[in-house]
Amino acid sequence: MSRLVIVLATHHELQGAEKRIGYLADPFYPMLLEQLIGDEGVDFVFEEASGLGPTIAEKLSLDKLGSGRYWDVDPSADERKTLGIPTKSNEPFMLGTPPNATFADWQFPDVHARREGVWIQRMSGKEFKKALFICGIAHGLSFSFRLQSSNFTVKSVTYTKAIR
């Protein structure tokens, strides 16, 4: 039987990483994490947090699953240099003019693919039956497909509530 990975794709601003600029407090996000961990019987939490934690998920997994059941698998900027992965995986550009401006992002698929490959490699070496993997919205489906190709069973959920 293959191991199950629940991919939760969300906005990084909701993850609550303490060393990240920009946090949107959303009381439903921790509720979602608790529900996924409890109802799905998750025994390990992986996260794309880029070394910027601790995050809400990291703290919650320590409380619910105990020590050693959480891993921020995304390489930090320094680690990416060591692995030969560019540190930039997107490039924002402005729409409109201040004060009525917003931003969109050009995504770099090759960089994302290399990072996702590292994530799978790191996950594969860990013992778990059912894992929750939290990643940015840009990775939701591509990472789910990559996991399926690596013989994991996958469920995928997207959460964007506080951004809407």
Cβ partners under 8 Å of residue 112, min gap 6: 89, 138, 139, 142
Number of helices (H), then strands (E), belonging to the chain: the values are 5, 7
Residue 136, pLDDT above cutoff 60:
yes
Mean pLDDT, to the nearest integer, of 51-65? 92
Per-residue pLDDT tens over the stretch 69-79: 999 999 988 99
Six-digit token pair at 30? 């921790």
What value does the mean pLDDT of the chain take? 93
So what's the pLDDT on residue 16? 84
Per-residue pLDDT tens over the stretch 101-135: 999 999 999 999 999 999 999 999 999 999 999 99
Mean pLDDT, to the nearest integer, of 35-55? 93
Quote the longest CA-to-CA distance of the chain: 54
Vertex 147, ends 143 and 149: CA angle to 5°? 115
Classify residue 66 by burial, with Cβ atoms within 10 Å: 0-12, 13-18, 19+. exposed
Between strands 4-10 and 153-159, the pairing is: parallel
